[in-house]
Chain A
Amino acid sequence: MKKNNLIFNMATTALAIVISMMIAFAIIFLVSEDPARAIESFLLGPLQSKRLIGSIFTTAIPIAFTGIAVSIMFQASMFNMGAEGSFFLGALAAAGAATSFNLPGILGIIIPILVGGLTGAIICSIPAFLKIKWGANELVSSLMLNYVTFYLGLYILNNFIRDKNFGALASHPLAQNNKLPRIVQGTSLHAGIYVVILLIVLSYLLIFKTSIGMKIRMLGQNPEFARYSGIKVGGVVIFSQLIGGMIAGIGGSVEIMGMYGRFQWTSLPGYGWDGIILAILARNKPQFVPLAALFLSYLRVGASAMASNAEVPKELITVIQSIMIMLVTANALLKSFKQKMVVKEALTNGTNS
């Protein structure tokens, strides 16, 4: 039965991907003068050069962070959208910590990451507190909170860590020892990938191998059952959101320190939303997040290649994403297929147990 569910989930996801790709191809045929070239550069473009292959990985890093962050938060059935704000403010806090203090050696990397993680954790735990204390809907409060976070971030950037000698709104530049080293020559791949791999492993262990992870899952599946079993519901909800927010915050820090010389986002970067897409594709299981992240970033790199080679706008990727998510979350899709599988299983086992 469990195997059947896995097969079913995989089949739904695969079908969703296929359908959304077909629609994308149909659009390409409509808008492109040279559809064959467009499709070719979309599908194979990312493999053309070492630099592009590297950028598949570097694009996957930030969204993998938010993907696991959102997965953990969703496991507790808390539809917290705060990962976006956590990522943004985490990055800003990391940049602030790095440029404000003269941190020696390896501390120049560790301290900003920790500061970013802590900031992210605080942001994502706010909707959880509001929910437990006053029953506020976390979806609404976290969405609103993202704006608060964003403008708070701009205020801090403007008034405390801004480099007044720089032409645009940006923080002071990061010192060399605040930057994550590149790990493959000729690509943008940086050491942040080690951090994300470590966090994926730890998140998997947390959710599936620890008592608190088990409690998070129980709470997510049936809060009344969790309470009955003696779980302190409030504590577990807050813990899960703290961890999720922390991972998103670390993701922001790593992104700034791996990819940029200074903090200069003046709009929300959108990685938190990507995290939601990944969590849905990975069905809230941290171990599947890297796969989903690489897939999505492959599509994005492909879309960029297509945009420069064949003049099909790369926004096409958002069309694919939206259709995919809609189909993956559509429970009725493949329902008859599932029913058939179930009937077959029932027939072979022949019992109603």
Chain B
Amino acid sequence: MIKKGNSTVPILEARNISKVYGNGVYANKNICFSLNEGEIHALVGENGAGKSTLMKILFGMEKPSTGEILIKGNPVVFSSPQDAMKYEVGMVHQHFKLVDPLSITENVVLGYEPMKNGLIDRKTAEEKVKEITKIFDIREDLSTPVGKLPVGTKQKVEIVKALYRGAKILILDEPTAVLTPQETVELFEKLIQLKNEGLTVVFISHKLREVKQITDRISVIRRGELIETFFTKDVTEQEISAKMVGTTYTSALDKGESKLTEVVLDVKNITSKGLGDISVVNNMSFTVRGGQIIGIAGVEGNGQNELIEMITGLRPIDGGSVKINGMDTAGKSIIQLRNAGLSYIPSDRIDRGLAISMTIEDNMIATKLDQKSLYTNGLLSRSKIRSMSEKLVKEYLVRCNSVEAEVGMLSGGNMQKVVVAREFTQGATLIIAEQPTRGIDVGAAKFIYEELIKLRNQGCAVLLVSADLEELYKLSDHILVMYNGEISAYIKNPSEVSETELGTYMLGVKKQSAEEIKGAYYEKE
């Protein structure tokens, strides 16, 4: 068990941890989890399985309902992250906790500033931060405001912050979710280096290939319980994923044949002005035909959001045009777009896709209020709404006690299934799927993939925007890469282009010729 150190006591141990949240979610159930000094330990599980909760408990952000935590064999109580830091536990959150206008140095020392004569000692701070940042080769000057840094560097700043505070145990929550393949490789190199210097790392991830690549041990959490802990070398990806979902799951998808039909979505020279002079989306043209899945790849923040908002009618179009089934969307209301065949799975289900304080059934009918079949004598009929919702819940495998439950009570994957159930049953001919499986479990994701493919094969046009390359490769017939508000590549045959090559287009290292990019816009001969 023990790789180094002179004792058999784990550096950190959680015993019988349980946690019930205020909304009734049983996030952790009797979890026993231990960390050996100097290992990289992966925590994998479907979303809603309870990984993040367990880590929040170990970092003092949440109090466990029952159970205890031991550091080097001694019981401790963390009532705040400050307590956890005292015991050298640090955490890097999925959503960075950085203050954008402050510099790298200021962010790193924030709350733990070296003092001299009652004032902050900037010089010492800079020296200390410089010392720690050495191994990270941060190219930017340490006085750069964090808001100006690329995502990969922000993450390094977060890690440096934890190390500055003296972390010997580093918890990383989905660290690669926001990184390009190149940045991921770099992060892994650094983690190995830190491990060799004696740091213990907990690595939370959905991406099994990465987990397999970098970790020493793997713990699998399923539905709030810790199922098993393995040595990484003893298991295959298939075995891990089987443990995660409880059944065997293969990642290969056979899309089957589809018949290409008319152009459903026609985007021509579309432009969105930002606040300044720079266009956030600049002169993009492409089409999506019936029976086709077009994927949009790109590092987040390269205009994908704006593009989708313009197509779905949520943002005014500053230049160019969007046609849905031949209808120009200029000046049309969202309900008119929906009636023309648009369905939209937004990336943010909580802010946009659902009203989480309303019931599942209310959320199911939100876009179906025009359907006569929901009414009796002109009034909404509870029983009709209920039977329709129950049918959808069953069809789309939403796990819930009752359709009267508030959507906010569901786990992320189940919330997404509610959105999908509603949007896929509108009789739409154009599906805009924006990060459709972000933060949800493998099982739910697979289900959504299958539904998307089913719709494609029935003749729907699908536009898929995703930060997950694996997902894009799995589903897309063709891939568009967006960089800086423009199409930087049109990948006609994704199977012939490697992820690394795609990455170079995503980062703007390479760009295709205008002629090649033109292929994205289909014109009838």
Binding site for B on A (CB under 8 A): 1-2, 5, 205, 208-211, 214-215, 217-218, 221-222, 224-232, 335, 338-339, 342-343, 345-347, 349-353
Contact = CB atoms under 8 A, between A and B. Distances in A.
B399 A353 contact: yes
Nearest to A214: B369
A179 to B, nearest CB: 35
B352 A352 contact: no
B344 interface: yes
B354 A222 contact: yes
Contact of A352 (B224, B351, B404): B224
A218 B26 contact: no
21 contacts: A1-B402, A210-B378, A210-B380, A214-B362, A214-B365, A218-B355, A221-B358, A222-B357, A224-B352, A227-B314, A228-B346, A230-B333, A230-B335, A230-B338, A232-B333, A343-B20, A346-B20, A347-B20, A352-B25, A352-B50, A353-B399
Contacts of A230: 333-335, 337-338, 367
B213 interface: no
A225 B414 contact: no
A290 to B, nearest CB: 21
Contacts of B334: 227-230
A222 B399 CA distance: 23
Interface string B343-375: 010100001111111110010011101100000
Contacts of B402: 1-2
B27 to A, nearest CB: 6
Contacts of B406: 1-2, 5
Nearest to B376: A209
Contacts of A217: 358, 362
A5 B367 CA distance: 26
B32 interface: no
Contacts of A342: 20-24
A352 B27 contact: yes
B356 A222 contact: yes
Given A217-B358, A227-B334, A228-B314, A351 B399 contact: yes
Contacts of A214: 362, 365-366, 369, 380
B260 interface: no
B252 interface: no
A162 to B, nearest CB: 46
Contacts of A2: 359, 402, 404-406
B351 to A, nearest CB: 6
Interface of B: 20-27, 48, 50, 65, 223-224, 312, 314, 333-335, 337-338, 344, 346, 351-359, 362, 365-367, 369-370, 378-380, 399-402, 404-406, 409-411, 414
Given A211-B369, A217-B358, A221-B357, A228 B344 contact: yes
Given A218-B358, A230-B334, A352 B405 contact: no
Contacts of B20: 339, 342-343, 346-347
A353 B344 contact: no
A209 B48 CA distance: 34
A222 B333 CA distance: 19
Of A210, A232, A339, A351, most B-chain CB atoms within 10 Å: A351
B352 A209 contact: no
Contacts of A1: 24, 401-402, 404-406, 409
A119 to B, nearest CB: 29
Given A209-B380, A211-B369, A352-B411, A232 B26 contact: no
Nearest to B398: A353
The 7 closest A-B pairs by CB, nearest first: A230-B335, A353-B399, A221-B355, A209-B379, A222-B355, A230-B334, A342-B24
Contacts of A353: 399-401, 410-411, 414
B25 to A, nearest CB: 5
Given A222-B354, A222-B355, A352 B223 contact: yes
Nearest to B366: A229
B364 to A, nearest CB: 11
B379 to A, nearest CB: 4
Contacts of A339: 20, 22
A346 B223 CA distance: 13
A347 B379 CA distance: 38
B380 A211 contact: yes
Contacts of A211: 369-370, 380
Contacts of B366: 214, 218, 225, 229
Contact of A224 (B351, B359, B362): B351
Nearest to A343: B20
Question: Among the interface residues A211, A226, A339, which one has the most CB atoms of the partner chain B within 10 A?
Answer: A211
Contacts of B400: 353
A247 B401 CA distance: 38
The listed residue with most B CB atoms (<10 A of its CB), out of A229, A342, A350, is A229
A5 B24 CA distance: 12
Given A352-B48, A352-B223, A228 B353 contact: yes
A19 to B, nearest CB: 23
Contacts of A335: 22
B399 A205 contact: no
B355 A225 contact: yes
Contacts of B409: 1
Contacts of A210: 378-380
Nearest to A222: B355
Contacts of B50: 352
A221 B22 CA distance: 20
Given A214-B380, A346-B25, 11 more contacts: A2-B404, A214-B366, A218-B362, A221-B355, A232-B333, A232-B335, A338-B22, A351-B223, A352-B25, A352-B48, A352-B411
A338 B26 CA distance: 15
B46 to A, nearest CB: 11
Contacts of B344: 228
Nearest to A230: B335
Contacts of B401: 1, 349, 353
A343 B65 contact: yes
Given A2-B404, A346-B24, A228 B352 contact: yes
B26 A351 contact: yes
Contacts of A225: 351-355, 366
A240 to B, nearest CB: 16
Contacts of B358: 217-218, 221
A352 B53 CA distance: 13
B123 to A, nearest CB: 45
The listed residue with most A CB atoms (<10 A of its CB), out of B24, B27, B48, is B24
Contacts of B224: 352
B124 to A, nearest CB: 42
